[in-house]
């Protein structure tokens, strides 16, 4: 819960004195080679402008005149001694390659009327028709092929492909996920009741498995990047704690107890940080154990919520005060980086940029860089509650002001005037996690976790 994307018929000329004919066929742009069943008819230009042709056999040659000149016949169809038969300009089909004339008929070669092959079957030397792509020897429409969506081998798994983009699908059922994180090939989440859960991301779906039971309203989750998974136990506002679970080779601290109402949490390889609403403080604790280093926020009722680490600084949202603050890790020199927020809530870091949501209606997504300060990314959102990102893209969940109008949206933060609606009509979506290949988001209102193949 909140807070809590394709008969060319050869010109057949019967040239002969009896029932002798010669038909030449052309097919699909490739001329056929003479098959040796008869002598190839010879043409020779006479000196008077006529063309004589000798047909096979002993009959007299037939004169084919191209002008009004006189008799151009030769006895017995023999070629004049002074003339040589030059076939150097003919190709194997009898076609004069320079004039475009068929050397066996003496007629102009007929025009090609064949059409290109537009089938999607891959033949040697052929490509794919427009709108498809060759993926491993087969042509696919990448706009709607589930296992080749947008690009070859991009598999939407349980989702569909629409417009070259995968759609979200239910990855896990009976799973209430208020906050989540992916470590390696496993997804971890907290149910805000009693349990820290996990499942493998290697398959198309997952079956939730209890990782750490018997917790006290586990609320937010963080990974230190090396070995330890941490979460806050809000315990409904008093006597809360911070739990841990070892995932790598480095030991993690035991549960940190005796706290007020810990909310947001962040960690690096040396320390774990959290916000405590009841104590009105930001707290740091070393992995190896020891004493807590706290910074008490001067303004009473500031309600410290989300927290993030970047560039040696700790950033946190003060929901009650409507500000986002930062301080050097451990030096506790508080600087207000963005006043005038309505209800700043969850934070995340992408590269050197800190993002957060202003959880209001209308709400906003904001960003902060050390060189550019704070600026809004997009406004007009309906109770945005989580934000994550990768290079050139961010995703956020809008909790929604009704029980069924929640959303997952995305945009390029450098140009976010028209953010894309990835999934709508959700029942209070909240937990959100991202990897280089997937986005996961929890919908506590229907006890489902969705997966989106990026």
Phi, psi of 279, deg, nearest 5: -80, -5
- Cα(77)–Cα(50) distance, integer angstroms: 15
> What's the sign of the alpha-carbon dihedral 426, 432, 434, 438?
negative
* pLDDT profile of the chain (454 residues), mean per 10: 40 35 37 40 40 40 38 38 41 43 44 42 62 95 95 95 97 98 98 98 97 98 98 96 97 96 97 97 94 94 97 97 95 94 97 98 97 96 98 98 98 97 98 98 98 97
- Residue 303: left (phi > 0), alpha (psi -120 to 50), or beta? left
| Domains with residue ranges and CATH for the chain | 7-115 (no CATH), 119-166 (no CATH), 167-453 (2.130.10.10)
Contact 301, 275 (CB under 8 A): no
CA angle in degrees (0–180, nearest 5) for 82-88-93: 120
- Locate 233 and state its tokens: 């136990």
- Locate 319 and state its tokens: 């929901």
The pLDDT value recorded for residue 127 is: 86
Measure Cα distances from 128 to 116, 122, 123, 141, 290 in Å. Answer: 12, 7, 10, 10, 66
The pLDDT value recorded for residue 234 is: 97
- Cα(209)–Cα(86) distance, integer angstroms: 87
Contact 7, 77 (CB under 8 A): no
- Locate 420 and state its tokens: 């894309």
- Locate 346 and state its tokens: 């969850």
- Cα(275)–Cα(283) distance, integer angstroms: 6
**Among candidate residues 108, 89, 92, the one with its CA nearest the CA of residue 100:** 108
Contact 304, 264 (CB under 8 A): yes
Q: Report the 10 Å Cβ neighbour count for 69.
A: 13
- Cα(220)–Cα(241) distance, integer angstroms: 12
Instruction: Write the secondary structure of the chain as one string of H (helix), E (strand) and C (coil).
Output: CCCCCCCCCCCCCCCCCCCCCCCCCEECCEECCCCCCCCCCEEEECCCCEEEEECCCCCCCEEEECCCCCCCCCHHHCCCCCCCCCCCCECCCCEECCCCEECCCCCECCCCCCCCCCCCCCCCCCCCCCCCEEECCEEECCCCCCCCCCCCCCCCCCCCEECCEECCEEEEECCCCCEEEEECCEEEEECCCCCEEEEECCCCCCCCEEEECCCCCEEEEEECCCCEEEEEECHHHCCEEEEEEECCCCCCCCCEEEECCEEEEEECCCEEEEEECCCCEEEEEECCCCCCEEEECCCCCCCEEEEEEECCEEEEEECCCCEEEEEECCCCCCEEEECCCCCEEEEEEECCEEEEEECCCCEEEEEEECCCEEEEEEEEECCEEEEEEECCEEEEEECCCCCCCEEEEEEECCEEEEEEEEEEEECCCCCEEECCCEEEEEEHHHCEEEEEEC
């Amino acid at each position: 819960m909140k807070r809590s994307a394709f008969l060319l018929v050869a010109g057949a000329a019967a040239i002969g004195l009896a029932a002798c004919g010669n038909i030449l066929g052309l097919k699909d742009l490739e001329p056929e080679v003479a098959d040796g069943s008869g002598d190839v008819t010879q043409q020779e230009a006479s000196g008077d402008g006529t063309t004589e042709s000798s047909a096979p056999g002993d009959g007299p040659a037939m004169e084919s005149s191209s002008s009004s000149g006189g008799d151009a016949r030769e006895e017995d169809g023999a070629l004049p001694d002074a003339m040589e038969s030059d076939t150097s300009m003919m190709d194997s089909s009898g076609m004069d390659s320079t004039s475009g004339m068929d050397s066996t008929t003496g007629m102009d070669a007929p025009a090609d009327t064949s059409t290109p092959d537009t089938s999607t079957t891959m033949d040697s030397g052929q490509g794919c028709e427009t709108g498809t792509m060759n993926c491993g020897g087969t042509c696919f429409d990448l706009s709607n092929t589930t296992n080749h969506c947008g690009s070859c081998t991009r598999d939407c798994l349980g989702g569909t492909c629409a417009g070259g983009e995968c759609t979200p699908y239910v990855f896990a059922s009976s799973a209430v996920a208020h906050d989540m994180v992916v470590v390696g090939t496993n997804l971890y989440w907290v149910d805000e009741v009693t349990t820290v859960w996990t499942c493998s991301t290697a398959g198309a779906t997952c079956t939730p498995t209890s990782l750490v039971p018997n917790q006290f309203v586990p609320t937010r989750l963080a990974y230190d990047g090396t070995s330890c998974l941490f979460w806050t136990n809000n315990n409904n506002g008093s006597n809360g704690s911070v739990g841990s679970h070892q995932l790598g080779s480095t030991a993690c601290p035991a549960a940190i107890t005796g706290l007020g109402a810990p909310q947001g949490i962040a960690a690096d390889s040396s320390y774990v940080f959290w916000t405590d609403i009841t104590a009105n403080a930001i707290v740091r604790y070393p992995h190896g154990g020891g004493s807590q280093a706290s910074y008490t926020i001067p303004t009473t009722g500031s309600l410290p919520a989300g927290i993030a680490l970047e560039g040696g600084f700790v950033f946190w949202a003060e929901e009650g005060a409507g500000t986002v603050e930062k301080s050097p890790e451990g030096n506790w020199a508080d600087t207000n980086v963005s006043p005038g927020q309505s209800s700043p809530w969850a934070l995340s870091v992408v590269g050197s940029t800190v993002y957060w949501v202003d959880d209001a209606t209308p709400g906003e997504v904001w960003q902060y860089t050390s060189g550019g300060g704070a600026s809004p990314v997009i406004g007009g959102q309906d109770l945005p509650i989580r934000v994550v990102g990768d290079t050139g893209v961010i995703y956020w969940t809008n909790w929604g002001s009704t029980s069924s109008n929640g959303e997952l949206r995305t945009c390029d933060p450098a140009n976010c005037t028209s953010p894309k609606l990835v999934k709508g009509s959700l029942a209070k979506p909240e937990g959100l996690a991202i990897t280089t290949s997937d986005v996961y988001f929890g919908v506590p209102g229907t006890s489902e976790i969705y997966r989106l193949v990026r």
